[in-house]
């Protein structure tokens, strides 16, 4: 555990109110929100300006004290949980929560790292704009964390991941220097793209303190469709058809296996299947228009779906008649994780493969997993158009002790699924990052050139290893 | 000069026909195409496979021989010209010129580094698709060079620079290892984005050997408009209006000062001003539609321009009635550089500032330059919507000896313009890169955090300094 003498140095630097040492107050932040990773920290540093972050990191560098940057603590991979031995301090960005500027005409918002995503949504909406990235944790996830993990969500198909929405960053590098890159330049070829390197670096190369983010026009009209399809391959053909007929107005395209839908209908109150027929697979499509011109999104979607039914890509389809129905369709998609948890223990994988290979992966990998691990059932749902699905392997029916099942089978199933992903040319982390959870698997599966590059970059930026230790970069013994 | 013993090692490795040593044959490739940079090289290595590139780089690493990767040799900043002392060999990628795969359904093309841009355009067109990046040098520029310089062009507004179009890369790192990253993954959070780091690295971190590139639908219908506007600020308001009314169909938006137009009309045969009124500034807009549905692009553009005339943003406007007129409008824009050369000696700057600050920059920086350097005239043209213009400072009228004028005034004017760009929060290289030409200025103007990061990354990837020596990264004495 870091000693009082060191805490005193940070207190002298930042002031007492910016160094939290009360054990009860610290407790919620040393464990991850799902309770899978447990750490310890003698203090949480809570600077409220970029200069204070720079000073804190500079002192940490001088003293060789590791820091764990933390936003809303919503990591899915233990990315913001400190080491168990208390050898690091938490550097919370939550007090840096100002929207410094929101220029609607320029479609730009400059946010500090601690701004909570839903607060940015509200501020953009008040200016008749929107920030087109959203996910379940939007009420606590912060901009800094979302950038550091290159967050995705359900709007990536049209607007891209965080990587495509960040127009500039301000960051404190591990030596305490400030990287001034907030100016939103659409073209900038002054050498290596430091901004892109910091995005998705999970706080291991420095601390993002603020960012310029791209806004888009508010949605004036939308239509949401629910389509029953025979197979993932038909779902992909439907996507291609929609892209051709509806162009850039396709804002969401999610695919859901029928068993997943069944679990929602069983466990989530007030849900019903939007179409009369139960088909093996389902697609949820959202079409957005920035204006109220004719033909509207409902009419245009109807045209595309009629063609899909005619061509046999779809078996049945429904289009939301009003906003309440649109919400109800989305609620099914958004309840899938909760329904799966209620259904029983399962291992969940956040993976991607090239879009064209996704239909075969969805059916083949599930079948192979069920064969290899008898009693399990496997299926997937998610962002087909992004080549990213959440692939679940469920414990055999009647399994009551989930943790024991995971302890016994987890590693074997992990390896099986990840090997299948690599064989399909995919990524073992599509949107959640590596953190602690996938570090060893990344080491096992990354090629030597990628591993060498990751380690070389980490050493170049953070030779002392003080930024978010033991995250993302595989240990020497891990491959 | 590198000795025969070393050449013999490469010849033994690659075979005689892949090592060019004839001085006459080498000559065109040791100078840049504008004749501003002159180098020397004892041989050009011409591998025709990724494995051969890896072998060549591996041998270079073993022997400590620097390599200068080269595609079409169309750099604007001396980025592909070897050192004058002959201490490096050229590594030409031009024989790696296969389009390995073009999957129209997936909107993807996998190209080797040596594929010439216009060949990719043709292949995409044959599959009813297009690759939405184009520039003057398309007949010789290669995909590898375009990626290594994060090329831009006139379609960036809608489709982004090369950075946004590369879905995967294969590269040989400076130790000779192969980075396998060709799989096109829309979501991939396996740590630092090595792909984005290699894009725009100007061959200083390794050699790109192939890439997966995004294709888009072919254009079914287009309309090109020419609009006379009172000022750059009105041009920006017009852009915002067009984006609001015409959305993603705005494919091009170029702004041109009236003096630039005048030079085209004087020096380029068969050109005429598309509108009856001569206004201080001009805008060229292209609207593209992927289908032939109604209302077509001409009708939609007409609606937006009528509103602009009504609101006083525009003084006069013309819309192309047919493809020949559309071409004629674009020809004016594309002839600007040639017309400026015919007009007399000038210094040209490829710079960017945040879009919102561009109108003020265009007028103020020109006025200030003319005041500071009496007799000069200054103006700009280019990609207003990208915040990127080509800013020209012309020698006083009657200057016949351009090189002497540049020798006397060049450095002072360079510093003046670059300082103005930095003061406006901009970049001294919007799309051409750093190469040799801007290396010292980057060193002078980059903040310490950026400089430190550039050097640390270079050292991490290329500790021997054998990849494209003396390009992009400022020397120790340069800041």
- Alpha-carbon span B45 to B466, nearest angstrom: 15
Span B424-474, pLDDT tens digits: 999 999 999 999 999 999 999 999 999 999 999 999 999 999 999 999 999
Q: Do B454 and A191 touch (CB under 8 A)?
A: yes
In terms of C-beta density within 10 A (0-12 exposed, 13-18 middle, 19 or more buried), how is residue B292 classed? exposed
B107 and B200, same structural domain?
yes
Strand B89-92 and strand B44-45: the pairing is parallel
A295 and A266, same structural domain?
yes
Between the alpha carbon of residue B161 and those of residues A253, A413, B211, B388, the distances in Å are: 26, 41, 15, 12
A193 and A229, same structural domain?
no
Which positions in chain A touch B434 (Cβ < 8 Å)? 189-191
- Alpha-carbon span A175 to A177, nearest angstrom: 6
A200 and A106, same structural domain?
yes
A460 domain residue, yes or no: no
Instruction: Give me the total of CB pairs closer than 8 Å, taking one residue from chain A and one from chain B.
Output: 234
CATH of the domain at A255: 3.30.70.2190
Per-residue confidence in pLDDT tens, chain B, 479 aa: 899 999 999 999 999 999 999 999 999 999 999 889 999 999 999 999 999 999 999 999 999 999 999 999 999 999 999 999 999 999 999 999 999 999 998 999 999 999 999 999 999 999 999 999 999 899 999 999 999 999 998 889 899 999 999 999 999 999 999 999 999 999 999 999 999 999 999 999 999 999 999 999 899 999 999 999 999 999 999 999 998 888 888 999 999 999 999 999 999 999 999 999 899 999 999 999 877 788 899 999 999 999 999 999 999 999 999 999 999 999 999 999 899 989 999 999 999 999 999 999 999 999 999 999 999 999 999 999 899 999 999 999 999 999 999 999 999 999 999 999 999 999 999 999 999 999 999 999 999 999 999 999 999 999 999 999 999 999 999 98
B205 and B177, same structural domain?
yes
Q: In what order do the strands lie in the sheet with A99-103?
A: A99-103, A108-112, A207-214, A166-172, A178-181
Between the alpha carbon of residue A71 and those of residues A46, A56, A438, B313, the distances in Å are: 11, 16, 20, 45
B384 domain residue, yes or no: yes
Length of chain A: 479
Query: Which among A189, A201, A429 has CB closest to B192?
Result: A201
A442 domain residue, yes or no: no
A400 three-state secondary structure: coil
Which positions in chain A touch B185 (Cβ < 8 Å)? 352-354, 387, 425-427, 430
B212 and B254, same structural domain?
no
Q: Do B352 and A187 touch (CB under 8 A)?
A: yes
Query: Which among B190, B431, B456 has CB closest to A187?
Result: B431
DSSP for A432-477, please give it: S--TTTTHHHHHHHS-HHHHHHHHHHHHHH-TT--BSTTSSSPPGG
A356 and A403, same structural domain?
yes
B465 and B419, same structural domain?
no
Which positions in chain B touch A244 (Cβ < 8 Å)? 217, 290
Q: Do B192 and A193 touch (CB under 8 A)?
A: no
Domain that holds residue A78: 4-92
A433 domain residue, yes or no: no
pLDDT at B170: 98
Query: Which among A175, A386, A449 has CB closest to B187?
Result: A386
B147 domain residue, yes or no: yes
For residue A54, the chain B residue with the least C-alpha distance is: B449
Tally of structural domains, chain A: 4
For residue A356, the chain B residue with the least C-alpha distance is: B106
The H-assigned helical ranges of A91-167 are: 117-126, 143-148, 156-159, 162-165
Span A69-121, pLDDT tens digits: 999 999 999 999 999 999 999 999 999 999 999 999 899 999 999 999 999 99
For residue A186, the chain B residue with the least C-alpha distance is: B386
Find the Cα–Cα–Cα–Cα dihedral A11, A17, A22, A24, rounded to 10°: -150
Query: Which among A161, A185, A199 has CB closest to B426?
Result: A185
B467 and B377, same structural domain?
no
Query: Which among A190, A244, A473 has CB closest to B446?
Result: A190
For testing contact with chain B, the best of A187, A216, A349, A423 (most B CBs within 10 A): A187
Length of chain B: 479
DSSP for B387-411, please give it: TEEEEEEEPPTT---HHHHHHHHHH
A251 domain residue, yes or no: yes
Span A451-461, pLDDT tens digits: 999 999 999 99
B431 domain residue, yes or no: no
pLDDT at A169: 98
A199 and A112, same structural domain?
yes
Give the count of alpha carbons within 13 A of A229, CB side only: 26
Last residue of a domain, one of B92, B112, B146: B92
CATH of the domain at A369: 3.30.70.2740
B56 and B73, same structural domain?
yes
B43 three-state secondary structure: coil
Q: What is the ipTM of this complex?
A: 0.95
The mean of the pLDDT values for chain A is 95
- A164 Cα to chain B: minimum distance (Å): 8
Which positions in chain B touch A161 (Cβ < 8 Å)? 187
- B399 Cα to chain A: minimum distance (Å): 32
For residue A201, the chain B residue with the least C-alpha distance is: B192
Q: Do A177 and B448 touch (CB under 8 A)?
A: yes
Please state whether A248 falls in left (phi above 0), alpha (psi between -120 and 50) or beta.
alpha
A229 and A195, same structural domain?
no
Which positions in chain B touch A472 (Cβ < 8 Å)? 191
Which positions in chain A touch B352 (Cβ < 8 Å)? 185-188
CATH of the domain at A208: 3.30.465.10
B127 domain residue, yes or no: yes
pLDDT at B344: 92
Per-residue confidence in pLDDT tens, chain A, 479 aa: 899 999 999 999 999 999 999 999 999 999 999 889 999 999 999 999 999 999 999 999 999 999 999 999 999 999 999 999 999 999 999 999 999 999 998 999 999 999 999 999 999 999 999 999 999 899 999 999 999 999 998 889 899 999 999 999 999 999 999 999 999 999 999 999 999 999 999 999 999 999 999 999 899 999 999 999 999 999 999 999 998 888 888 999 999 999 999 999 999 999 999 999 899 999 999 999 887 778 899 999 999 999 999 999 999 999 999 999 999 999 999 999 899 999 999 999 999 999 999 999 999 999 999 999 999 999 999 999 899 999 999 999 999 999 999 999 999 999 999 999 999 999 999 999 999 999 999 999 999 999 999 999 999 999 999 999 999 999 999 98
pLDDT at B479: 87
Q: Do B188 and A427 touch (CB under 8 A)?
A: yes
pLDDT at B244: 85
Last residue of a domain, one of A35, A66, A92: A92
Q: Do B106 and A355 touch (CB under 8 A)?
A: yes
A59 three-state secondary structure: helix
Last residue of a domain, one of B280, B307, B336: B336
């Amino acid at each position: 555990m870091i000693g009082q003498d060191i805490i005193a140095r940070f207190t002298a630097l930042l002031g007492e109110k910016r160094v939290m040492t009360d054990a009860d107050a610290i407790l919620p932040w040393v464990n991850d929100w799902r309770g899978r990773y447990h750490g310890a920290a003698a203090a949480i540093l809570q600077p409220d300006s970029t200069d204070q972050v720079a000073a804190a990191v500079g002192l940490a560098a001088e003293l060789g004290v590791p820091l764990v940057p933390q936003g809303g603590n919503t990591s899915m991979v233990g990315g913001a949980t400190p080491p168990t031995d208390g050898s690091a301090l938490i550097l919370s960005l939550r007090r840096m929560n100002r929207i410094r500027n929101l220029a609607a005409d320029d479609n730009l918002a400059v946010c500090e790292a601690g701004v909570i995503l839903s607060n940015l949504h509200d501020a953009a909406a008040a200016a008749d704009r929107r920030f087109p990235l959203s996910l379940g944790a939007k009420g606590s996830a912060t901009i800094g964390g979302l950038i550091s993990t290159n967050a995705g969500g359900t709007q990536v198909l049209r607007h891209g991941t965080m990587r495509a929405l960040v127009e500039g960053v301000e960051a404190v590098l591990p030596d305490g220097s400030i990287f001034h890159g907030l100016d939103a330049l659409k073209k900038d070829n002054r050498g290596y793209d430091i901004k892109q390197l910091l995005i998705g670096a999970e706080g291991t190369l420095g601390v993002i303190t603020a960012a310029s983010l791209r806004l888009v026009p508010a949605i004036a009209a939308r239509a949401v469709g629910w389509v029953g399809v025979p197979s993932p391959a038909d779902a992909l053909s439907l996507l291609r058809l929609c892209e051709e007929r509806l162009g850039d107005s396709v804002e969401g395209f999610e695919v859901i296996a029928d068993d997943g839908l069944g679990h929602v209908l069983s466990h989530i109150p007030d849900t019903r299947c939007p179409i009369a027929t139960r088909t093996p697979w389902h697609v949820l499509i959202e079409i957005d228009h920035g204006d109220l011109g004719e033909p509207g999104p409902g009419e245009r979607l109807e045209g595309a779906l009629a063609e899909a039914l005619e061509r046999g890509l779809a078996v049945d389809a429904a289009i939301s008649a009003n906003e309440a129905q649109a919400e109800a369709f989305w609620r099914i998609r958004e309840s899938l994780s909760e329904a799966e948890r209620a259904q029983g223990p399962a291992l969940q994988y956040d993976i991607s493969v090239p879009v064209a290979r996704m239909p075969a992966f969805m059916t083949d990998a599930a079948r192979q997993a069920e064969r290899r691990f008898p009693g399990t059932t496997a299926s997937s749902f998610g962002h087909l158009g992004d080549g990213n699905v959440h692939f679940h392997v469920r414990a055999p029916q009647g399994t009551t002790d989930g943790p024991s099942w995971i302890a016994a089978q987890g590693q074997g199933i992990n390896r099986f699924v990840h090997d299948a992903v690599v064989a399909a040319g995919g990524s073992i982390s599509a949107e959640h990052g590596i953190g602690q959870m996938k570090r060893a698997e990344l080491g096992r599966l990354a090629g030597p050139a990628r591993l060498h590059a990751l380690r070389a970059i980490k050493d170049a930026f953070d030779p002392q290893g003080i930024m978010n230790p033991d995250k993302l970069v595989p240990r020497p013994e891990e491959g």
